[in-house]
């Protein structure tokens, strides 16, 4: 069998593995709370809070979609015309066109062009966040964060580009197989190292100070049977007024992180409710699920790129001979960008299901639906979340159930358990 035949076979295998993983690991069985309960919850929210949140989301919306559109157009313009290939050549020219310069510097230049052209939208978003009082950051801090994120992307990107094009040179016929394994490995590695290498670039993390709350949270984790080494507090207040918490890392790098803004804004019982949700993610191994499906998706993506990349039409448009040469990186980027936009609703759907399970876990663990609902109100109020966002936007991009869905879930739980 030819490498291409093996690639088709691998594609089929990875597709089945991904579908099985998603079918088994994502909680599909739990239906959302009835719409009538959601509408009742919406009516219970202060009208001015809802109006202000909708005005804020409405102000963000045009720039958000424009940034997506411009990002797509730029990716298509550099990927489906010879422009991108020429940029790669140009950047590598001072180095005699050496393949390493083409692969790393050329690749990073293409990424930078795409980033810079959407930069005005990011800046405009920051003006909206400031206008509504959500951002606590001046332009100096904002620029510093931006430069840090470019630096992190440049390091990760350079390593990935160098690794990928080295494999392509060493195994010209089988690079897709090594590339798929490498992409999957990179996803797993990043899950382990992001919390210890990347997150500290942007925030300072300190163990939650000793006191009744820490004791309560540690006892909660013990009661839940979830080993949590530490509850960390992130100094998010230097950037935002928004409140949040999350769990990240795997094995030895797993941690529950709460924003310092959450500790300032919410009552101890509400913080407990939030941490109970995060413990749900830990208990159900959601980071593992995300890592596994991400790794399978990345491997699948490499094989799809290899197969698509042998389509003569795409290569002719990009003005390259093979998808495997560094000058074809802009074409790869265009295909990845389109794939990201097309699969966004599926990723959001999976995320919402996983988040709803963590909510159910929080309700069962705390047995306190009233505080859970109060916390959802507070989250929506402080973060200026539209409690019941437009359906199309929700379906395309919402990573969490809406505020009214979460409130309705708490009410359904209260009804079922008589609390």
Residue 120 to residue 116: CA distance in whole angstroms: 8
Please identify, using beta-carbon distances, which residue of 177 and 266 lies nearer to Zn ion: 266
**Distance of closest approach, residue 399 Cβ to Zn ion, in angstroms:** 9
Please identify, using beta-carbon distances, which residue of 126 and 351 lies nearer to Zn ion: 351
Token pair belonging to 146:
């931006």
Please identify, using beta-carbon distances, which residue of 87 and 233 lies nearer to Zn ion: 233
Residue 122 to residue 129: CA distance in whole angstroms: 11
Closest C-alpha to 119, from 89, 90, 149: 149
C-beta contacts of 152-156 below 8 A and 24+ residues apart: 152/198, 152/201, 153/111, 154/108, 156/190
**Distance of closest approach, residue 174 Cβ to Zn ion, in angstroms:** 40
Please identify, using beta-carbon distances, which residue of 270 and 355 lies nearer to Zn ion: 355
The arrangement of strands across the sheet holding 205-207 comes to 205-207, 231-234, 255-259, 245-248
Binding site for Zn ion (CB under 5 A): 355, 358
Residue 326 to residue 331: CA distance in whole angstroms: 10
Please identify, using beta-carbon distances, which residue of 101 and 257 lies nearer to Zn ion: 257
**Distance of closest approach, residue 394 Cβ to Zn ion, in angstroms:** 16
Please identify, using beta-carbon distances, which residue of 228 and 318 lies nearer to Zn ion: 228
**Distance of closest approach, residue 355 Cβ to Zn ion, in angstroms:** 5
- Helix residue spans in 254-285 (DSSP H): 260-265, 268-283
Residue 148 to residue 164: CA distance in whole angstroms: 24
**Distance of closest approach, residue 359 Cβ to Zn ion, in angstroms:** 8
Q: 10 Å Cβ neighbour count for 298?
A: 20
**Backbone CA torsion sign across 143, 148, 153, 158:** positive
Is residue 136 exposed (0-12), middle (13-18) or buried (19+ Cβ within 10 Å)?
middle
**Distance of closest approach, residue 370 Cβ to Zn ion, in angstroms:** 20
Report whether 237 contacts 265 (CB < 8 A): no
**Distance of closest approach, residue 277 Cβ to Zn ion, in angstroms:** 6
Please identify, using beta-carbon distances, which residue of 239 and 357 lies nearer to Zn ion: 357
């Amino acid at each position: 069998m030819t490498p291409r035949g093996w690639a088709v076979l691998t594609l089929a295998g990875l597709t089945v593995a991904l579908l099985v993983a998603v079918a088994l690991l994502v909680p599909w069985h739990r239906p959302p709370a009835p719409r009538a309960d959601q509408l009742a919850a919406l009516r219970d929210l202060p009208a001015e809070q809802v109006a202000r949140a909708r005005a804020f989301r409405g102000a963000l919306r045009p720039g958000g979609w424009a940034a997506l559109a411009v990002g797509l157009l730029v990716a298509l313009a550099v990927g489906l015309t010879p422009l991108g290939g020429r940029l790669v050549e140009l950047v590598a020219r001072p180095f005699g066109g050496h393949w390493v310069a083409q692969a790393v510097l050329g690749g990073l230049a293409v990424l930078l062009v795409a980033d810079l052209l959407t930069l005005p939208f990011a800046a405009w978003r920051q003006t909206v966040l400031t206008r509504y009082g959500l951002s606590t950051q001046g332009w100096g801090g904002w620029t510093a964060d931006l430069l840090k994120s470019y630096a992190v992307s440049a390091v990760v990107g350079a390593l990935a580009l160098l690794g990928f094009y080295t494999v392509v040179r060493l195994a010209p016929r089988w690079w897709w197989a090594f590339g798929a394994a490498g992409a999957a490995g990179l996803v797993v590695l990043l899950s382990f190292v992001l919390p210890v290498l990347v997150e500290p670039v942007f925030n300072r993390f300190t163990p939650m100070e000793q006191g009744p709350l820490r004791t309560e949270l540690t006892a909660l984790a013990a009661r839940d049977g979830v080993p949590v080494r530490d509850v960390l507090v992130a100094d998010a207040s230097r950037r935002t007024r928004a409140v949040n918490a999350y769990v990240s890392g795997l094995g030895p790098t797993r941690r529950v992180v709460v924003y310092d803004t959450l500790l300032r804004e919410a009552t101890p019982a509400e913080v407990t409710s939030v941490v109970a949700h995060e413990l749900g993610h830990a208990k159900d191994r959601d980071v593992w699920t995300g890592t596994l499906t991400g790794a399978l998706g990345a491997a699948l993506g490499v094989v799809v790129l290899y197969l698509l990349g042998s389509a003569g039409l795409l290569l002719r448009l990009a003005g390259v001979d093979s998808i495997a040469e560094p000058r074809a990186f802009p074409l790869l980027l265009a295909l990845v960008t389109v794939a990201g936009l097309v699969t966004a609703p599926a990723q959001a759907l999976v995320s919402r299901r996983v988040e709803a399970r963590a909510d159910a876990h929080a309700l069962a663990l705390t047995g306190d639906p009233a505080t859970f609902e109060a916390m959802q109100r507070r989250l929506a109020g402080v973060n200026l979340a539209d409690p019941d966002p437009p359906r199309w936007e929700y379906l395309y991009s919402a990573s969490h159930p809406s505020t009214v869905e979460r409130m309705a879930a708490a009410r359904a739980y209260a009804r079922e358990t008589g609390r």
